[in-house]
Structures are given as C-alpha cells and as structure tokens.
Chains A and B, each alone.
Chain A
Amino acid sequence: MAFVQVLPRRLASWITAEPDWDAVYAEQLPRVLNFFRYRLPHAADAEDLTARTFEKAWRARHRYRRDLAGFSTWLLTIARHVAIDYLRARQRYEPLDAAAAVASPGRTPEQRAVHSSDADRLAGLLATLEPRQRELIAMKYGADMTNRAIAQATGLSETNVGTILHRAVETLRGRW
C-alpha cells in the first residue's frame, strides 16, 4: 500500500529503536545452536547450520517485520528452513551415534560423563521420533520456544502443537 511507504514509515522510523545486535546475538545464539543440536546428530553440523542461520538473518535483518513475529520466532523460522534445506539435501537423517561429540565445556569430567550419557540416550531417542515430532521437540526443548511461538513459526495451530509435543514427550518418556 503506497501510503504506508510514505509518511507513516518515515515518521515511524523517527521513533524506531536501534537494535542492540550484540545483545540479540548473545541471547539468541544458544537457542539456535540448541535447536540444531536437537534437530541434527552432530555438534559440528549444529554449529555449521547455526552460523548459516545467523549469516542469513544478519543479511536480511532490515526485512524483519516486528509486527508479524517476535525476533526470536523470526530467527528460529530461518533456522527451521536452514534445517529443512540441509536435511533435504542429505536425503536422510544421520545415524545418531555422535552424541559423544556434544562436548560440554565448563563441566567437570564427572559431570560431562553423566551429561554425555544422558545426551547419548536422548539423542538416540530423538532419532526414533517422526520428523515433525522431532522438529517440535527441537523448538520446544532446544530453542526454548513457547507453544504459541512454535505455532507461529510452523503454521500449526497452538492446540496441534501441544498435542504433537505431548505425544512426542510421552513416547520419549516411555523409552527413557
């Protein structure tokens, strides 16, 4: 609509905030990385795709529409598409034998052993989920998104998101 691009936007820009991209980066990086850790088997792939996601977002950040989605939802939507492209290119999921690669800096060797063990188990179980379930688990527990944000990012209804997540968690719990 032409007029939106005339005066209001200009006026709006006068009272638009300057984003603190360093703060955004610090806040969102762990969420995106963990989304990929839940979505993919290898930590190295997760870092790679995280970097790809941020590069895409960085280049396109002026196109971000706050009125359509929160920033983290927008960023995770990009991450989701990056994952889809990646998985499509590979045509298959990697065997999930690489949980040991999820090094956890800052933990003691004992803690790391316990964590690694749980991570191994969880990674293995995630591989048994249906792709849609796994994606939603990655968004919920990897990226720490709310059901509403997941619904917005995936186009599913919030109720549907809740149902899929519930079933997925029950499946995982039963096998844990």
Chain B
Amino acid sequence: MSDDRWLHALRTDPSPEFKAQLRGQLRPQDTAADAHRDWPRRTLIAAVVMILIAVLTSVPAVRASVVQFVSLLRVVNVVGVPVNSSHLDRLQAEDLQINALIGEHVQVLEDPGAPVDVSSLADAAVAAGTTLATPQWLPDRTQVLETAVVGERAVRITANSQRLQQVVDALGINDLRVPSGLDGQVVDVRVPPVVMIRYDHQNGRRTRLFQARTPQVMLPDNIDLPALGEIGLRILGLPPAEARQFAEAIDWHTTLIVPVPPNATSFQQVDINGHRGVLIEHQPRNQSPTVTIVWSTPERVFALVSIQGVAEALAMATSVR
C-alpha cells in the first residue's frame, strides 16, 4: 500500500562488495558441502513421493512388477503419468497420514545405510558390483564433481486391503473395489545398488545421472495386476476411463510408471537409443527449470536430472553407453 511506503525506508540492496565477499565465503563451502551431502532428500515433489509411498505399499503392483515368484523385473518401457496433487490434499483432509497407514506393513530386510562417496567411477563400479554406463558426450568444461553409491536394499511389503480401501474411499473412488485375496500377500522388493554421478558444468549448472540394475520384485502369481494397476492409476489421478484403458493396455510386467509431478510444465515420451523414456520439464519454486529424463534398458534403469537445458540433457542421455 502506498501509505506504507515509509515502512520500507530501511530497506536497501546489498552492496556489490558484500555480495561478492559473501559469495566468496560460501563457494568453498559449496564444494565441501556437495562432497559430503547426503543423497538428495528434498521432497519438492512431496505429492509424488507420498503417492508413490501409498502405491508402493498398498498397491505394490503399480510400480511395474512381475507376476511369478522369483521372477526378475524387466523394465522395458517407461511411461509418465501426471499426478493430481488434489488427491494428496484430499487424503490429508481426511486425516489419512500415509506414513502412519503404511509404516506397519513394510519390513526392511536389507538396509545399506547412507550413500558412500567414492573417488572414481571405477570404485563406484566395484561398489555397485556392475559396470557403469556414462555419457560419452558432455558439454564443454564439464567435470565429474561427485560420485556416490548406495548399496542394495531389500524390503518386504505385506499388503493390507483395508488400508488400500481406505485410501480409495478417501479419494472418492467409488467405482473400484480392492481385489479380494490381496490381504496378507507378501511382496519382496530388492533394489540393486544405485550409482549417482554428479557433473559440474562450470557455469553454476549441474547434472546428476542415476543408474541401477533393474529392481527385482517378487510377488504371488495370483495377484490381479491390471486391477491393482487401475487403482494405482486412479490414486495418481488419472480419469476413470483413461485409467481403465491404460491399465488394460499396459504390460505391467515390463513397464515402469513414472509419476509426473504437479509442477511439471511438460512431459513427453522420448527415444533414448531405441528405448522408450520420459522427459519431464518442471520448475519448482526457487529453482531453475529442470529436466528429468527416465529411461531403461533391459538390464538397467537410468535417470538424468539437469538444469542445463533440454537439448543438452537429451544429448547427454542419448550418449550414455
């Protein structure tokens, strides 16, 4: 308000000297902190995460899985599904705290602990027990800033149809029922070590490449995957007709569902060396436009997260060998 202008009399811009001095103080800490930072924890896509948790626990099949015991998940396709953030709001309004709902149904069988920094890609490959694929093309002056590995992790999820039905009901999904016989079913998820390589483009921009061997999901063969998949898609926010069509058409044995965060500005299917992937552009508050590309080969799943721009991110992804 104009009559409040006098209240701003004390405001001023930082002097250039102070800006430069402070930036100079922070820069060394920047590198040091980056070198010791934990695996990225920011939940800027909180809605996605929360829904993922719900999906992964109450509806284990929504994340592409296999229908036979001790079968290896083979992610061939990556498909993006937009998340409807209002669903999370509605769950919260119903006082359905997802963590509380699912916590008792997940047992950690193998916990690798915190990610471990390694000094070279070779060490990362050793730690991960596999060879590494890396971009064969990088923007000029790009350097590897950090390499870290988090070990294998295994969890056992015990399905609880009542909990899932609670979520479904809270979202007002009245036309679907949780399949009978789901209760008590056990799903084992084993995620091989994940390697993260962080690239510094020397212009304030960075890119991270994540890679892991294909996760292994074991679950009973009598689970109705399309039915559960449809429920999962509805939880994510797909309209009924679209979810039904999608759930029936999709091969749940080979498809990885990537929730597209509500702040996404666009997403599209992309071809990464003959493998279908998803490219998501989004701009979280206080952050630069970000490009995320998720794709897979029969053996591995990759994700590249960059603020370097679409063209260069795509060029890096397609050069990964």
Contact = CB atoms under 8 A, between A and B. Distances in A.
Interface of A: 1-4, 6-25, 27, 29-30, 33-34, 37-38, 47, 50-51, 54-55, 58-59, 61-67, 70-72, 99, 102-106, 115, 118-119, 121-123, 126, 137, 141-142, 169, 172, 176
Interface stretch (B119-127, B227-235, B286-294): B286-294
Contacts of A62: 33, 37-38, 40-42
Contacts of A71: 285-286
Contacts of A16: 40, 42-45, 305
Nearest to A117: B9
B6 A15 contact: no
Interface stretch (B50-58, B177-185, B246-254): B50-58
Contacts of B8: 141
A7 B26 contact: no
Contacts of A6: 106, 108, 111, 153, 155, 191
Interface residues of B, number: 77
B173 interface: no
A122 B7 contact: yes
B274 interface: no
Contacts of B29: 55, 58-59
Contacts, number: 213
Given A12-B52, A18-B208, A65-B43, A122 B191 contact: no
Nearest to B27: A58
Contacts of B40: 13, 16, 62
B190 to A, nearest CB: 10
B261 interface: yes
Contacts of B242: none
Nearest to B110: A6
Contact of A37 (B10, B16, B305): B10
B290 A18 contact: yes
A8 B215 CA distance: 13
Given A3-B155, A6-B153, A72-B286, A121 B9 contact: yes
B174 interface: no
A20 B10 contact: no
Given A2-B106, A8-B49, A30 B14 contact: yes
Nearest to B261: A15
A141 B38 contact: no
A66 B106 contact: no
- Secondary structure of the A side of the interface? helix
B245 interface: no
B75 interface: no
A14 B25 contact: no
A58 B42 CA distance: 14
9 contacts: A3-B56, A3-B102, A17-B307, A18-B307, A34-B11, A58-B29, A65-B41, A105-B12, A169-B4
Given A16-B45, A66-B46, A10 B39 contact: yes
Contact of B25 (A55, A66, A123): A55
A19 B11 CA distance: 27
B280 interface: yes
Contacts of A20: 204-205, 287-288, 307
Residue of B155, B280, B288, B294 contacting most chain A CB atoms (<10 Å): B288
Q: Please indicate which of the listed interface residues B7, B108, B288, B294 has the most CB atoms of chain A within 10 Å of its own CB.
A: B7
B160 to A, nearest CB: 13
Contacts of A66: 42-44, 46, 284
A4 B46 CA distance: 12
Interface string B1-34: 0001011111111111011011101100110010
B194 interface: yes
B6 A118 contact: yes
B84 interface: no
Contact of B9 (A7, A19, A119): A119
Contact of B10 (A27, A58, A61, A102): A102
Nearest to B12: A104
Nearest to B259: A15
A50 B23 CA distance: 12
Contacts of B284: 17, 66
Q: Which 4 A-B residue pairings sit nearest by Cβ, starting from the closest?
A: A20-B288, A14-B303, A67-B46, A17-B290
B288 A19 contact: yes
